Structures are given as structure tokens and as C-alpha cells.
């Protein structure tokens, strides 16, 4: 929601999973790199 002048505008928030699958890609990382980083974060490294 946002206010524009004297109006309240409500917009649908995109589904994050749909956005991730269909939206523009910003990161350049392989699945293997992602998996390794995820495991490191889970191990507390």
C-alpha cells in the first residue's frame, strides 16, 4: 500500500517464487557454489 495525494493505492505483491523463476537474474553463481555457501552458513563458518 502507498499513499498518492489523497488516494490509497493497493498493489498485489509478486509471489517471491514466481519472481525468482521468471524475473530478471542478478547473480551469477552456479548451483554448486550456492550449495557450498549454503552448507558453510549452516555449519556456522
Please, what is the end-to-end C-alpha distance for the chain in angstroms?
39
Q: Which portions of the chain are predicted below pLDDT 70?
A: 45
Q: What's the pLDDT at 45?
A: 61
Q: For residue 2, which of 13, 18, 16, 14 has the smallest C-alpha distance?
A: 13
- Residue 17 phi/psi, 5-degree rounding, is -70, -40
Q: Cell numbers of 27, please?
A: 547473480
Q: What's the pLDDT at 28?
A: 83
Query: 9 by DSSP, 3-state: which?
Result: strand
Q: What's the pLDDT at 17?
A: 84
Amino acid at each position: 500500500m502507498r499513499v498518492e495525494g489523497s488516494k490509497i493505492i493497493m498493489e498485489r505483491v509478486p509471489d517471491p517464487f514466481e519472481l525468482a523463476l521468471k524475473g530478471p537474474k542478478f547473480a551469477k553463481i552456479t548451483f554448486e557454489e550456492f550449495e557450498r555457501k549454503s552448507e558453510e552458513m549452516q555449519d556456522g563458518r
